[in-house]
Homo-oligomer: A and B are copies of this chain.
Amino acid sequence: MSDRMTTPISAQVRSANPESANITPVIPGVLLPLRKQQRVPLSQKPSDHIFLVMTGVLMVEARLPERNRQVLEILFPGDAYHTQDAPGRLGAALIASTPAELQRYRPEALEAIERNNPEFRKRLESATSHRSARRTLHLASMSGASGEERLADFLVEMGLYIGREAQGGRSFDIPLSREEIADYLALNPDTLSRIFSRFKSSGLIAISRGRATVPDWSALTRLSPLAAAQTDLHDQVRATA
Protein backbone atom coordinates (compact mmCIF):
# COMPACT_ATOMS: atom_id res chain seq x y z
CA MET A 1 0.00 0.00 0.00
CA SER A 2 2.62 2.52 -1.05
CA ASP A 3 -0.29 4.56 -2.31
CA ARG A 4 -1.46 5.77 1.08
CA MET A 5 0.64 8.86 1.30
CA THR A 6 1.23 11.38 4.00
CA THR A 7 0.78 14.85 2.64
CA PRO A 8 2.10 17.92 4.45
CA ILE A 9 -0.83 19.91 5.74
CA SER A 10 0.35 22.97 3.89
CA ALA A 11 -0.01 21.40 0.48
CA GLN A 12 -2.79 22.35 -1.85
CA VAL A 13 -3.98 25.39 -0.04
CA ARG A 14 -6.39 27.97 -1.21
CA SER A 15 -8.54 30.47 0.58
CA ALA A 16 -12.27 30.12 0.70
CA ASN A 17 -14.13 32.96 -0.88
CA PRO A 18 -14.82 35.60 1.78
CA GLU A 19 -17.87 36.71 -0.18
CA SER A 20 -19.66 33.47 0.58
CA ALA A 21 -19.18 33.80 4.32
CA ASN A 22 -22.65 35.12 4.83
CA ILE A 23 -24.35 32.56 2.69
CA THR A 24 -22.83 29.31 3.82
CA PRO A 25 -21.65 30.13 7.31
CA VAL A 26 -18.04 29.24 6.54
CA ILE A 27 -15.41 31.84 7.08
CA PRO A 28 -12.02 31.90 5.41
CA GLY A 29 -9.66 29.22 6.50
CA VAL A 30 -7.40 26.76 4.80
CA LEU A 31 -9.10 24.34 2.46
CA LEU A 32 -7.60 20.86 2.24
CA PRO A 33 -8.79 18.65 -0.57
CA LEU A 34 -8.05 15.01 0.18
CA ARG A 35 -7.86 11.97 -2.03
CA LYS A 36 -9.26 8.68 -0.85
CA GLN A 37 -7.03 7.20 1.84
CA GLN A 38 -5.05 10.38 2.19
CA ARG A 39 -3.96 10.93 5.74
CA VAL A 40 -3.72 14.04 7.87
CA PRO A 41 -1.54 13.43 10.93
CA LEU A 42 -2.90 14.98 14.11
CA SER A 43 0.43 15.87 15.54
CA GLN A 44 0.67 16.27 19.26
CA LYS A 45 2.00 19.78 19.22
CA PRO A 46 -0.11 21.96 21.46
CA SER A 47 -1.58 23.96 18.60
CA ASP A 48 -5.24 23.16 18.69
CA HIS A 49 -6.56 23.29 15.20
CA ILE A 50 -10.11 22.64 14.19
CA PHE A 51 -10.95 20.70 11.07
CA LEU A 52 -14.36 21.22 9.59
CA VAL A 53 -15.56 18.51 7.25
CA MET A 54 -17.01 20.11 4.11
CA THR A 55 -17.50 17.00 2.00
CA GLY A 56 -16.66 13.33 2.24
CA VAL A 57 -16.30 10.77 4.99
CA LEU A 58 -13.26 10.55 7.26
CA MET A 59 -11.96 8.15 9.88
CA VAL A 60 -10.17 9.14 13.04
CA GLU A 61 -7.49 6.55 13.51
CA ALA A 62 -5.27 5.74 16.46
CA ARG A 63 -2.10 3.68 16.35
CA LEU A 64 -0.40 2.70 19.54
CA PRO A 65 3.03 1.13 19.26
CA GLU A 66 2.78 -2.66 18.94
CA ARG A 67 -0.97 -2.55 18.51
CA ASN A 68 -3.46 -2.76 15.76
CA ARG A 69 -4.90 0.38 14.37
CA GLN A 70 -8.17 1.52 15.89
CA VAL A 71 -10.79 3.61 14.19
CA LEU A 72 -12.03 5.86 16.97
CA GLU A 73 -14.79 7.59 15.09
CA ILE A 74 -16.18 8.43 11.71
CA LEU A 75 -16.67 11.99 10.51
CA PHE A 76 -19.33 13.23 8.14
CA PRO A 77 -19.89 16.54 6.37
CA GLY A 78 -20.61 19.23 8.91
CA ASP A 79 -18.53 17.63 11.66
CA ALA A 80 -15.88 19.62 13.46
CA TYR A 81 -12.79 17.89 14.79
CA HIS A 82 -10.56 19.49 17.41
CA THR A 83 -6.96 18.42 17.35
CA GLN A 84 -6.93 18.26 21.13
CA ASP A 85 -9.56 15.52 21.22
CA ALA A 86 -6.83 13.04 20.46
CA PRO A 87 -4.11 12.88 23.11
CA GLY A 88 -0.65 12.81 21.61
CA ARG A 89 0.93 9.38 21.98
CA LEU A 90 -2.10 7.84 20.36
CA GLY A 91 -0.59 8.44 16.96
CA ALA A 92 -3.88 9.81 15.76
CA ALA A 93 -4.64 10.80 12.21
CA LEU A 94 -7.55 11.70 10.01
CA ILE A 95 -7.97 9.46 6.99
CA ALA A 96 -10.21 10.17 4.07
CA SER A 97 -12.51 7.21 3.41
CA THR A 98 -13.82 8.97 0.35
CA PRO A 99 -12.42 11.97 -1.48
CA ALA A 100 -13.00 14.80 0.97
CA GLU A 101 -12.60 18.46 1.65
CA LEU A 102 -11.55 19.82 5.00
CA GLN A 103 -11.48 23.34 6.20
CA ARG A 104 -8.74 23.96 8.72
CA TYR A 105 -8.65 26.74 11.29
CA ARG A 106 -5.57 27.66 13.25
CA PRO A 107 -5.71 28.94 16.81
CA GLU A 108 -5.31 32.54 15.63
CA ALA A 109 -8.15 32.11 13.19
CA LEU A 110 -10.28 30.70 15.98
CA GLU A 111 -9.58 33.67 18.21
CA ALA A 112 -10.62 35.95 15.41
CA ILE A 113 -13.80 33.96 15.00
CA GLU A 114 -14.53 34.28 18.72
CA ARG A 115 -14.38 38.03 18.42
CA ASN A 116 -15.86 38.79 15.05
CA ASN A 117 -18.13 36.03 13.97
CA PRO A 118 -20.40 34.82 16.76
CA GLU A 119 -22.68 33.16 14.27
CA PHE A 120 -19.95 30.98 12.90
CA ARG A 121 -18.71 30.26 16.39
CA LYS A 122 -22.16 28.97 17.24
CA ARG A 123 -22.01 26.70 14.27
CA LEU A 124 -18.68 25.28 15.37
CA GLU A 125 -19.96 24.79 18.89
CA SER A 126 -23.05 22.99 17.77
CA ALA A 127 -21.06 20.77 15.42
CA THR A 128 -18.75 19.95 18.28
CA SER A 129 -21.47 19.08 20.70
CA HIS A 130 -23.27 16.96 18.15
CA ARG A 131 -20.13 14.99 17.51
CA SER A 132 -19.58 14.63 21.21
CA ALA A 133 -22.99 13.05 21.61
CA ARG A 134 -22.24 10.71 18.74
CA ARG A 135 -19.00 9.70 20.42
CA THR A 136 -20.97 8.84 23.52
CA LEU A 137 -23.16 6.57 21.47
CA HIS A 138 -20.20 4.85 19.93
CA LEU A 139 -18.68 4.22 23.31
CA ALA A 140 -22.00 2.84 24.51
CA SER A 141 -22.10 0.54 21.52
CA MET A 142 -18.54 -0.70 21.99
CA SER A 143 -18.97 -1.40 25.64
CA GLY A 144 -22.51 -2.63 25.83
CA ALA A 145 -23.32 -4.45 22.63
CA SER A 146 -22.60 -7.80 20.97
CA GLY A 147 -20.98 -8.11 17.58
CA GLU A 148 -24.29 -8.24 15.77
CA GLU A 149 -25.62 -5.26 17.64
CA ARG A 150 -22.47 -3.29 16.97
CA LEU A 151 -22.72 -3.92 13.26
CA ALA A 152 -26.40 -2.96 13.33
CA ASP A 153 -25.50 0.25 15.18
CA PHE A 154 -22.88 0.96 12.55
CA LEU A 155 -25.25 0.39 9.66
CA VAL A 156 -27.84 2.63 11.25
CA GLU A 157 -25.24 5.35 11.65
CA MET A 158 -24.15 5.08 8.04
CA GLY A 159 -27.69 4.88 6.79
CA LEU A 160 -28.64 8.03 8.65
CA TYR A 161 -25.63 10.08 7.65
CA ILE A 162 -24.89 9.03 4.12
CA GLY A 163 -27.90 6.96 3.06
CA ARG A 164 -30.82 7.86 0.90
CA GLU A 165 -34.32 6.53 0.89
CA ALA A 166 -34.74 3.81 -1.71
CA GLN A 167 -37.97 1.93 -2.37
CA GLY A 168 -39.07 1.79 1.25
CA GLY A 169 -35.62 1.07 2.64
CA ARG A 170 -32.32 2.88 2.60
CA SER A 171 -29.13 2.46 0.68
CA PHE A 172 -25.65 3.88 0.83
CA ASP A 173 -22.11 3.29 -0.33
CA ILE A 174 -19.92 1.70 2.29
CA PRO A 175 -16.82 3.86 2.29
CA LEU A 176 -14.80 1.67 4.66
CA SER A 177 -13.16 -1.65 3.96
CA ARG A 178 -14.11 -4.65 6.06
CA GLU A 179 -10.94 -4.29 8.03
CA GLU A 180 -11.64 -0.63 8.73
CA ILE A 181 -15.16 -1.39 9.86
CA ALA A 182 -13.78 -4.13 12.08
CA ASP A 183 -11.33 -1.65 13.59
CA TYR A 184 -14.18 0.75 14.20
CA LEU A 185 -16.35 -1.89 15.84
CA ALA A 186 -13.61 -3.49 17.90
CA LEU A 187 -14.14 -6.81 16.15
CA ASN A 188 -11.80 -8.83 14.09
CA PRO A 189 -12.31 -8.88 10.35
CA ASP A 190 -13.17 -12.58 10.21
CA THR A 191 -15.87 -12.22 12.81
CA LEU A 192 -17.23 -9.16 11.11
CA SER A 193 -17.37 -10.98 7.81
CA ARG A 194 -19.35 -13.76 9.43
CA ILE A 195 -21.85 -11.34 10.87
CA PHE A 196 -22.17 -9.61 7.51
CA SER A 197 -22.86 -12.97 5.93
CA ARG A 198 -25.56 -13.71 8.46
CA PHE A 199 -27.18 -10.34 7.79
CA LYS A 200 -27.03 -10.95 4.07
CA SER A 201 -28.48 -14.42 4.20
CA SER A 202 -31.28 -13.26 6.47
CA GLY A 203 -32.18 -10.64 3.89
CA LEU A 204 -31.50 -7.77 6.26
CA ILE A 205 -29.01 -6.21 3.91
CA ALA A 206 -27.78 -6.67 0.38
CA ILE A 207 -24.39 -5.55 -0.82
CA SER A 208 -23.26 -5.15 -4.38
CA ARG A 209 -20.21 -3.31 -5.60
CA GLY A 210 -19.68 -1.58 -2.30
CA ARG A 211 -23.23 -0.35 -2.07
CA ALA A 212 -25.41 -1.52 0.79
CA THR A 213 -29.17 -1.70 0.53
CA VAL A 214 -31.35 -2.19 3.56
CA PRO A 215 -34.77 -3.14 2.27
CA ASP A 216 -36.48 -2.99 5.66
CA TRP A 217 -35.06 -0.19 7.73
CA SER A 218 -37.14 -0.89 10.80
CA ALA A 219 -35.91 -4.48 10.86
CA LEU A 220 -32.40 -3.08 11.10
CA THR A 221 -33.30 -0.64 13.84
CA ARG A 222 -34.75 -3.50 15.84
CA LEU A 223 -31.32 -5.10 15.91
CA SER A 224 -29.58 -1.89 16.88
CA PRO A 225 -29.85 -0.98 20.55
CA LEU A 226 -28.89 2.60 19.80
CA ALA A 227 -31.02 3.14 16.72
CA ALA A 228 -33.51 5.35 18.51
CA ALA A 229 -30.82 7.48 20.10
CA GLN A 230 -28.92 7.80 16.83
CA THR A 231 -32.02 8.76 14.95
CA ASP A 232 -33.06 11.39 17.48
CA LEU A 233 -29.59 12.83 17.46
CA HIS A 234 -29.39 12.92 13.71
CA ASP A 235 -32.80 14.52 13.25
CA GLN A 236 -32.03 17.06 15.90
CA VAL A 237 -29.15 18.49 13.86
CA ARG A 238 -31.09 18.58 10.66
CA ALA A 239 -33.68 20.60 12.51
CA THR A 240 -31.05 23.07 13.73
CA ALA A 241 -29.28 23.42 10.39
User: Which residues on A are within 8 Å of B, measured CB to CB?
Assistant: 48, 62, 64, 67-68, 70, 72, 82, 84-90, 129, 132-133, 135-140, 142-144, 186, 225-226, 228-229, 232-233
Contacts and interface: CB of A to CB of B under 8 A. Distances in A.
A142 B139 contact: yes
Contacts of A139: 72, 135, 138-139, 142
A230 B217 CA distance: 40
A45 to B, nearest CB: 12
B135 A135 contact: yes
5 contacts: A64-B225, A68-B144, A87-B133, A90-B229, A135-B135
A133 B129 CA distance: 14
Contact of A136 (B86, B136, B228, B233): B86
B85 A225 contact: no
Given A67-B144, A70-B140, A87-B233, 9 more contacts: A48-B129, A72-B136, A72-B139, A82-B129, A84-B129, A85-B133, A85-B136, A138-B139, A142-B143
Contact of A232 (B72, B82, B88, B142): B88
Contact of A64 (B72, B144, B186): B144
A135 B143 CA distance: 13
